Structure 1
Amino acid sequence: MNYRHVFHAGNHADVLKHVILLAVCDALAAKPSPCFALDTHAGRGLYRLKSASAQRTGESDDGIGRLLVERPRVPAITRYLAAVEACRAVHGHDAYPGSPWLLAHALRGSDRIACCELQPVEASALRENFAGDDRIAVHERDGYAAVRALLPPKHGEIRYGRGLVLIDPPYEAQLDEFDTVLATLKEALARWPQATYALWYPVKLRRALQPFLRKAARLQAKSALLAELLVRPDDSPLRMNGSGLLLLNSPWQIDAALQPALHALQEALGEPGASTRLEWLRPPA
């Protein structure tokens, strides 16, 4: 694998993913019982947007950079921006939180987080970034295989009835990745059926997504919700036009929280032809 997330940290896809991730975490933390989170493709958890690697693409300028200027007054986005600013208060003005940092920020002392990263350099940085937080276990291993090893989760005598599994692969294998993802989700749902599952996916050509979404709708989950942000028309073959999250077993009424956030992100980050999509593939019963 040659992928390095630092090239894309803070871009429009990260913004969408992290706004939704925090909304899910806040819903989980609103109930008193402890929960467990698994991040299957964690990266290093903390990025420097002024580093040479990040500046090589400059993608954050049209993502978090633009959003910090626009500052839409929508609760889910305000929550996300507050988390970014909390990260910068500790780590410096150019810091950007990856999903492990946001999980650690949003969840509680009684909750537990497992972060998987296959690349040794990134895993080492991840371990160093969270060395002082005993809620977080870092696993230098394949995140897909970790689903079988770590679910259903337990910590000592605690068996977790609630939680989140975030699957955010680099899609280096292109469309073949969807087959792996679907198999992983099927197994994970069988092992821990009550968890919320959040799968990030890129949107390049719409027709390429349709077979995957049809199969995803048939997974044995209580509900399946799509949330997409396209910052340009979805028929451009040259680059990623947007991204989406598939939420399985999503928290109650999360669609009501995400609807205004998606529209605000389209206004703040979109080019002509930008669009959003919030659709139930399987409505909650």
Structure 2
Amino acid sequence: MFSYRHAFHAGNHADVLKHLTLVAMLKYLTDKDSALTVIDTHAGAGLYRLDGDMARTSAEATQGVQKLFLGSDLEQKQPLAQINTAQAAIKSVASALQDYLDALASFNSNATGQRVYPGSPLIIHSLLRPEADKLKLFELHPTDYRSLSGHVKQLDAGRMVTVDCANGFEKLKTLLPPPNKRALVLIDPSYEMKSDYGQVSACIQDALLRFPTGCYAVWYPIIPRPEAHSLPKKLKTMAVQAKRTWLQATLNIGQEPPRHAPGEKPSKLVGLRASGMFIINPPHTLKAALQEALPQVVAQLGRGRGKGFTLMN
């Protein structure tokens, strides 16, 4: 039950899509005067070492976020973004992508390079307003919960952030609707168990009944599994039935042809190549922001046949 560890996958292309979308949403939502509650149902450890054993075992970050930082701008042939992007922003970089890279850069330095990757909890916290907003975090994995608690404690955020070792699917019911009537809910389980797909659907259905105006962001893998294929369809049906707006974004980095010696049997293609974000009640600016940013992401991270992105609403 507790075998999945996100540290093996931190900073990969799926994280890029998820957190690029998350930052763009938060930039819009925190521009409003009223307070915002953000709920992360599967928060993870909160912060990951890209030079640690788990990250180096998979090396997924090298083909994800680290490739973005080291990539080249297509027009100017200049570094896409320096580690300190706030001081070295490049005009041709899409604003949403620049905001995402800036958020990551704040956790690193020029001297050490891109050595840590913040998970959703720390990215969210860095963009919220301490005097107004609230962050509710849930993580069921005992080891990741302890790590998350330690990282949140170092933020010295007081009552702004709460951490609970609990089932986020169930706990979400107790928080909707929030007192301030404005909320962003991020749901991104590992989907290691097939039951996660059904729990996501049931969770969204219940949430829309309790708080139909909430903003709900669901990350999901795009893999050859019936449950994965049907999940975005179910979410769309729920949104339409509830008469809510929706946006679906996918990112596929493609796959290079497998390399093998003459006479050797080709190796089986493995690894996650694509994932999606399904947002119910998205900010009206989100589609345009992703439309500008995702082509640049594909240009940097795409690696072969099938690469591309989609945006549907």
> TM (normalized to structure 1)?
0.91
Determine if the alignment matches structure 1 residue 124 to structure 2 residue 146. yes
Unaligned residue ranges in structure 1 (runs of 5+): 154-158, 281-285
Distance 1:59 1:260 in 2: 24
Partner of 1:65: 66
Equivalent positions of 1:258-273 (< 5 A) are 258-273=290-305
Offset at 1:150? 2.0
Distance 2:138 2:253 in 1: 29
The structure that has the greater radius of gyration is: 2
Partner of 1:168: 188
Distance 1:101 1:83 in 2: 10
Q: How many residues align?
A: 272
CA RMSD of the aligned region, Å? Answer: 1.9
Distance 2:180 2:146 in 1: 27
Contact 1:119–1:140 (Cα < 8 Å) also in 2? yes
Partner of 1:275: 308
Change (3 A) 1:193 1:67: same
Unaligned residue ranges in structure 2 (runs of 5+): 72-79, 81-91, 256-267
Return the structure number with greater strand share.
1
Q: Is 238-247 or 2-11 further displaced after alignment? A: 238-247
Offset at 1:244? 0.6
Equivalent positions of 1:118-197 (< 5 A) are 118-131=140-153, 132-134=156-158, 135-153=160-178, 159-174=179-194, 176-197=195-216
Contact 1:189–1:221 (Cα < 8 Å) also in 2? no
> TM (normalized to structure 2)?
0.83
Partner of 1:240: 272
Distance 2:125 2:95 in 1: 20
Q: What do residues 55-106 of structure 1 show as CA deviations (whole Å, max 9, x unaligned)? A: 1111000001100012271111111111111011499641111000010011
Distance 1:90 1:106 in 2: 21
Aligned-pair identity in percent equals: 35
Change (3 A) 1:31 1:195: same
Runs ≥4 residues deviating over 2 A: 89-93, 205-214, 236-239
Q: Which amino acid aligns with 1:173?
A: M
Distance 2:227 2:187 in 1: 19
Contact 2:248–2:278 (Cα < 8 Å) also in 1? yes
Q: Is 71-80 or 207-216 further displaced after alignment? A: 207-216
Determine if the alignment matches structure 1 residue 77 to structure 2 residue 123. no
Distance 1:189 1:91 in 2: 46
Partner of 1:283: none
Offset at 1:54? 1.0
Q: Which amino acid aligns with 2:210?
A: R
Contact 1:127–1:138 (Cα < 8 Å) also in 2? yes
Q: Which amino acid aligns with 1:76?
A: A
Determine if the alignment matches structure 1 residue 204 to structure 2 residue 228. no
Distance 1:217 1:112 in 2: 28
Distance 2:14 2:135 in 1: 23
Contact 1:204–1:237 (Cα < 8 Å) also in 2? no
